Amino acid sequence: MFVEADSFSRPKYGNILHSDPNMPITGPGSEDDLYIRYSSASASGPALCESHRTSLEGSPLTMSPWNQTTSFMKHPALFSDNDNLPANSLIGSLTREEGHIYSLAATKDLLYTGSDSKNIRVWKNLKEFTGFKSNSGLVKAIVLSGKKIFTGHQDGKIRVWKISPKDPKVYKRTGTLPTLKEVLKSSFKPSNYVEVKHKRSLWIKHVDAVSCLSLSEEQGLLYSASWDRTFKVWRISDSKCLESIPAHDDAVNSVVSTLSGMVFTGSADGSVKVWKREQHRKGAKHMLAQTLLQQDCAVTALAINTKGSVLYCGSSDGVVNFWEVERQLAHGGVLNGHKQAVLCLEATENLVFSGSADKTICVWRKDGNIHTSLCVLTGHMGPVKCLAVEKDHESRSEQRWIVYSGSLDNSVKVWNVAEYAQVTAGHQNHHQQFDFGTDFNPFASDVSPSSNQHRQY
């Protein structure tokens, strides 16, 4: 673990950010102990999840006669048209007894899973296809950019991988961020060294775990967030670190970017910040534009919908806040669905998925300015740590999504979610909506362009 003795005091539920990945699961008792280490929100988190159960919710405990403990097995319905699958149901499980699942990425027919075993597994058509191993600690983040795969690790390194043109089952490591050439070049200049978390290091290097990665392919940039309280900006074409921004007073847990050039960061210090990329004489720099949220509990996850119109923020108290980007980041309301901490978020244009330490996944549908609770997916035996969502292209009659959920129970579950499944009357669970004008944000604190919050090394 990367913890210093004299670090900033963490807000409530801070242990969720520095969990022990090597804690064994030997039985129901130890699994419960692990569950508590990831969140202590059970006494105070919202408890709407159980009280709003409907027949639409997919529960593998009651619906699945094919409870797998080895690799993936297909549900009988998969042999026919995907439209015959029940709405919002479990398809199956991918299990490999080699560690907790910390990261997921999906593209077309390939699924990448990262765990604390340092392995990245590749699944094709929901069967194990191949895998590759890194020596950089547990895999906390995976993002895909064309033929490149970027992985963020516990030891602060970012690895770059490519598929061999000769054999699609062979993945070769093509580099590390920062590159060795860049490290050697920078190391001779004293001004390139900075003090981060009481450690003297090159500004281009992360000195603590890389918690999140985000791509801005339109601008050719990769963003990395870290527990060292910074986020860095990398140019994909030449792997050069362009900026290092000391963003927060505690671990940065999430970073997301938009097509318009805005970047959002969420931290264990309880804040969500907005950064804008602005042109200067010496090139573009990211400047702090606004603080959207400042709260006592940790911000654990961020997601922006595919349209780029809504920002979602999950916290260790189990609540999901959201802001309307197109309404000058006006606060839209909160989604209450979890009993414990929210650990991960994913969003399509109209759906938002939240995974939690309470072992469930809540699915919400956005209709105009209203979010309705569509279903709750249950079945994991440990906290849900990561999510990936892909459109189901085989479904012809309605909009369906394939949802992958990775858990600390060592499994990845695969779900089929119908976007327009009917919500049972009397069981609709709308978000709390606040009638704020576009000029008023109860959580915002503006920062003037001249603020000294941004510093480039």
Per-residue pLDDT at 85 = 62
Angle at 436 between CA 431 and CA 438, to 5 degrees: 115
Which of 159-173, 208-222, 408-422 is predicted least confidently? 408-422
Which residue among 270, 294, 318 closes a domain?
Answer: 294
State how many domains the chain has. 2
Per-residue model confidence as pLDDT tens digits over 241-291: 999 999 999 999 999 999 888 999 999 999 999 999 988 877 889 999 999
| Helix ranges restricted to H, 9-155 | 28-38, 48-51, 60-63
> Where in the sequence is the domain holding 381, given as residue range(s)?
38-97+301-442
What value does the mean pLDDT take over residues 195-219?
92
Q: Which of 69-73, 323-327, 330-334 has the lowest mean pLDDT?
A: 69-73
**Per-residue model confidence as pLDDT tens digits over 376-404:** 999 999 999 999 999 988 876 678 999 99
Residue 82 confidence (pLDDT): 54
The CB density around residue 447, as the number of other CB atoms within 10 Å, is 17
Q: Are residues 225 and 312 in the same domain?
A: no
Length of the chain: 457
User: For position 150, what pLDDT does the model report?
Assistant: 98
Instruction: With beta carbons less than 8 A apart as the criterion, state whether 89 and 416 touch.
Output: yes
Name the region of 261 (left: φ>0; alpha: ψ -120 to 50; beta: rest): left
Q: Assess if residue 26 is contained within a domain.
A: no
Using the structure block, give the residue that is written with the tokens 């090139």: 283
Mean pLDDT for the stretch of residues 317-328 = 95
Asked which of 264, 294, 324 is the last residue of a domain, the reply is 294
Q: Which long-range contacts (CB under 8 A, 24 or more apart) does 246-249 make?
A: 246/196, 246/455, 247/273, 247/275, 248/273, 249/8
Q: Is residue 271 part of a domain?
A: yes
pLDDT of residue 326: 87
- Return the bridge partners of 351, or none: 365
Lowest-confidence pick of 12-16, 124-128, 214-218: 12-16
pLDDT tier at 93, thresholds 50, 70, 90: very high
Residue 306 within any structural domain of the chain:
yes
- As a whole number of angstroms, the distance between CA 135 and CA 357 comes to 28
Domain of 204, CATH number, reads 2.130.10.10
Tell me what pLDDT residue 264 has. 98
- Asked whether residue 278 is domain-assigned, the answer is yes
Confidence label for 83 from pLDDT (cuts 50, 70 and 90) = low
Does residue 184 share a domain with residue 54? no
Residues 339 and 288 in one domain: no
Q: Between residues 223 and 51, which one has the greater pLDDT?
A: 223
384 and 362 co-located in one domain: yes
Cβ distance 72 to 93 under 8 Å? yes
Q: Give the residue, 66 or 101, on which the prediction is more confident.
A: 101
Q: What is the mean pLDDT of the chain?
A: 78
Residues 435 and 305 in one domain: yes
Per-residue pLDDT, averaged over 149-163, amounts to 96
359 is a domain residue: yes
pLDDT grade, residue 232 (50/70/90)?
A: very high
Q: Are residues 434 and 420 in the same domain?
A: yes
What CA–CA distances, in Å, run from 59 to 241, 244, 343, 374?
A: 45, 44, 20, 14
> What is the percentage of the chain residues whose pLDDT exceeds 90?
61
Which amino acid, one-letter code, is at 440? F
Quote the strand ranges of 108-228, DSSP E.
Answer: 110-115, 119-124, 127-133, 139-145, 148-153, 158-163, 171-177, 193-196, 199-202, 210-216, 221-226
Domain end position, chosen among 294, 312, 335: 294
Distance, CA of 163 to CA of 41 (rounded, Å): 42
22 or 231: whose pLDDT is higher? 231
Closest to 47 measured CA to CA, from 358, 448, 424 = 358
Residue 75 has pLDDT above 60, yes or no: no
